[in-house]
Amino acid sequence: MSAILAIVRRDLLLAMRRKSEVLTALFFFIIVVSLFPLGIGPEPLLLKKIAPGILWVAALLSTMLSLNRLFATDHADGTLEQLVLSPTPLGLLVAGKIAAHWLTSGLPLVLLAPVLGIQFDLDTSALGILVLALLLGTPLLSLIGAIGAALTLGVRGGGVLLSLLVLPLYIPALIFGAGAVEAHISGLGATGHLSLLAALLALAAFFAPWATTAALRVALE
């Protein structure tokens, strides 16, 4: 645990020194979400209907903006090779890096979502479901994205390839996350969607660090 906490602390300190990268993703999320009410106009029923999909798509794209820096910087300065040679299992260190990525890229989106959701006339209970869905879904996005970032590490045009690899895998999270809020608004209840989202998160939390580790070892050979 001490090694994981050390990796998380290191990555958080590096993120604080490169605030522009973190703020770029946050401002992208805010701008994309805010443009839709301005473009569609003050129609509460329509805004409430499209709100879950817009917020989730914006969160998904915002997370993707920060995936390139997950391993690329450590690969460029040789830190990644040192992590591979460390006596601590690489899977645990990778889990720490994914946790730090979520803290800098996913958690801010969860905190901003209720404020932005007010623009779409969502009530308090719907905002609560939205936050809960994002709290389950954004770590899933980071876990899946880490696999794609490892597979495309050092590849020319890796950003485009990363998008092609990751976007299809993000679709279940998008469907269940946005569907939870839509089901709650329509009175059907969000329990089923949230349960499926939690199950996907549990599977990804178990398999993604080890899959990412295998991809990193292949990329470094």
Tokens 């890229």 correspond to what residue? 105
Alpha helix (H) ranges present in the chain? Answer: 2-17, 19-40, 44-65, 72-77, 79-85, 90-101, 107-117, 124-151, 158-185, 191-220
- Between CA 2 and CA 147 the distance in angstroms is 24
Report pLDDT digits (tens) over 106-144: 899 999 999 988 888 888 888 999 999 999 999 999 999
What is d(CA 138, CA 144) in angstroms, rounded to the nearest whole number? 10
Range name among 68-77, 126-135, 180-189 with the lowest pLDDT average: 68-77
pLDDT of residue 201: 94
pLDDT, mean of residues 78-85: 80
178-184: list long-range contacts, CB under 8 Å, 24+ apart: 178/52, 178/53, 178/55, 178/56, 178/133, 179/52, 180/52, 180/129, 180/132, 180/133, 181/51, 181/52, 181/122, 181/126, 181/129, 181/130, 181/133, 182/49, 182/52, 184/125, 184/126, 184/129
Q: Which of the four pLDDT bands, split at 50, 70 and 90, describes residue 25? A: confident
Of all residues in the chain, the percent with pLDDT exceeding 70 is 99
In which band, very low, low, confident or very high, does the pLDDT at 157 lie, cut at 50, 70 and 90?
low
> Quick check: 221 pLDDT over 80?
no
**Domain limits of the chain?**
2-220
Question: Tokens 């003050």 label which residue?
Answer: 42
Exposed (0-12), middle (13-18) or buried (19+): which is 61, by Cβ within 10 Å? middle
Considering only CA atoms, which of 209, 213, 211, 175 is closest in space to residue 194? 175
Tell me the two tokens of residue 19.
């605030």
| Residue 152 clears pLDDT 70, i.e. is over it | yes
Query: What is the predicted pLDDT for the residue at 111?
Result: 92
Q: How many residues does the chain have?
A: 221
Residue 158 pLDDT exceeds 70: no
* pLDDT(177) > 80: yes
pLDDT at 42: 76
Angle at 155 between CA 168 and CA 91, to 5 degrees: 70
Is the pTM of the predicted complex or chain greater than 0.85? yes
